[in-house]
Amino acid sequence: MKLQFKIIITAVSAGLVLSACSTKKDAFLNRNWHAMNTKYNTLYNGGIAFEQGREELNANYQDDYWDILPIERLEVTEDVKLDSEDNNPNFIIAEEKATKAIQKHSMDIKEEERNPQTDEAFLLLGKARYFDQRYIPALEAFNYVLNKYSESDKLNEANIWREKVNIRLENEELAIKNLKRLMKLEDLKDQEYADARAMLAQAYVNLKIIDTAIQHLKVASYYTKKNPEKGRYYYIIGQLYNQLQHKDSAGYAFDRVIELNRKSPRVYMINAHLQKIKNTELTNENSEELWEYLTDLEENRENRPFLDKIYRQLAEYHLEIGSDSLALDYFNRSLRATQNEPKLNALNYENLAVYNFDHNEYKAAGLYYDSVLTNLHENTKKHRSIKKKLDNLEDVIKYEDIVQYADSVITLYDLPKDKQIAYFEAHIEGLKKAREEAQKKEVQRITDGFAAFTESKGGKENKGKFYFYNITSLGYGKNDFTNKWGNRTLEDDWRWSNKSTIAIADENGDTIVDAVDQEIDPTDEEKFS
């Protein structure tokens, strides 16, 4: 009886499960079965992969603090992608999970979606494509949510993400129009409102309408609940005020970044400190205070990852107060501390180039300008400007070398006869010593090599063998031959360096010998070696 009961229960359960698996039946069990599987299986795993992809992007992304920061930390290539190519695997997984959730759990019955989790699957699909820089497919996913799921609680989020895509596709006017309508007609949460304002600010920055961008970014920094975003927004506000030459307002924005301290990434705080120092006019009254300010930043152990920029600011400080040697030292320290900062390297090299040029050290200046070029992208205005300077400088260096050579010759010519002889004898002696040293090093290198070989297994196995079977003896012989004769081609009359000295028989058997050849005879050593 118990067995029959168990069989019946199992059969009924299996029937219910199979019935619930259907995506064509609009029943309570079906809706909740597919919603649960979508949320806690495919979407859950897809969401984890998506967040891992974003973390990886944030870890690898490097902001360019020499330019206005973008609102969103995302490295963008110039190519518009349509298919998945060379992409972050986490975003591919997120897209696959979202697609799987749509294909297996979507319940489109009578043109109405009955699975309440499907809109989130489409939203995840669009986000994964967005961060994969496939903006056209991402736009399709967000538009599908907006057109298909009119009752979804994700409509505001989908709207904001769609306008992000429009901004990436350089449709700033359309994005501004849609975002303004969204803020006017919809009741947005604080974070949604902050995101919408931030995207409006980015659109206005792209359109070079800086003052309007600042106002939107101020509102975004007030409403956002994420401290890293607050720090970034305040820093960008400071940069935009700097662009407008409003130094006081910029200083206030940078102070807000510094006040956040550990609540936002330290990189924002350090750059805010340095921007404040740059905006401060150096005077006799504040010189000591600025030096202490910079020294505190330099000596703080937590600032070690940012020493390259701190050293550069110290170099500029010392250059401005006239401490040239300290300035040069700090420029070089900055170069040594720099890690993957080509723009910073270019600025340091340019400072060193200008300094050497101003002090008539044209060769050194040319080398530094050449280093500047290696740290700049070719198709930029800055690269062309530096290249032009370097080309002009090469002519100056060429004529400077000619002048220096002429001066040296004249100076030598004006010396008394005995000093001229002494100079040339010393020069010849130096050349001889250099050649002897080179020969000694070469002999030592070869000797060490053979000594090491004789101690090896191969060297010991060849001891006592016939000359041409003994690798050690053969090696010494080859070395001796090369030292005496040089590198000779394997051919007849290999001992003659000038083949025109060889007697050549003509067609009639007569021997034709050049008159000069008769004076050149091989030595006894050449004959019997």
DSSP 38: I
Helix (H, G, I), strand (E, B) or coil at 40: helix
Mean pLDDT in each 10-residue stretch from start to end of the chain (529 residues)? 55 44 47 55 81 86 92 75 66 82 58 65 90 92 89 90 95 96 92 96 96 96 95 97 95 96 94 95 90 94 94 95 94 92 93 92 89 90 90 76 71 78 83 86 71 53 55 70 72 63 47 44 47
Residue showing tokens 């993957």 = 340
Per-residue model confidence (pLDDT) at position 393:
82
Distance CA 458, CA 52 (A): 56
- The CATH number of domain 1-169, selected from 2.40.70, 3.40.50, 1.25.40, 1.20.140: 1.25.40
| 117 touches 64 (CB < 8 A) | no
Residue showing tokens 């040296």 = 408
Distance CA 245, CA 194 (A): 26
| 386 touches 369 (CB < 8 A) | yes
Per-residue model confidence (pLDDT) at position 379:
86
- Burial profile 478-516: b = 16 or more Cβ within 10 angstroms, e = fewer: ebeeeeeeeeeeeeeeeeeeeeebeeeeeeeeeeeeeee
Residue showing tokens 């002090």 = 359
The model carries a pTM of: 0.73
Per-residue model confidence (pLDDT) at position 175:
96
Per-residue model confidence (pLDDT) at position 200:
97
Per-residue model confidence (pLDDT) at position 443:
76
- Domains of the chain, by residue range, sit at 1-169, 492-529
Per-residue model confidence (pLDDT) at position 361:
87
Distance CA 315, CA 325 (A): 9
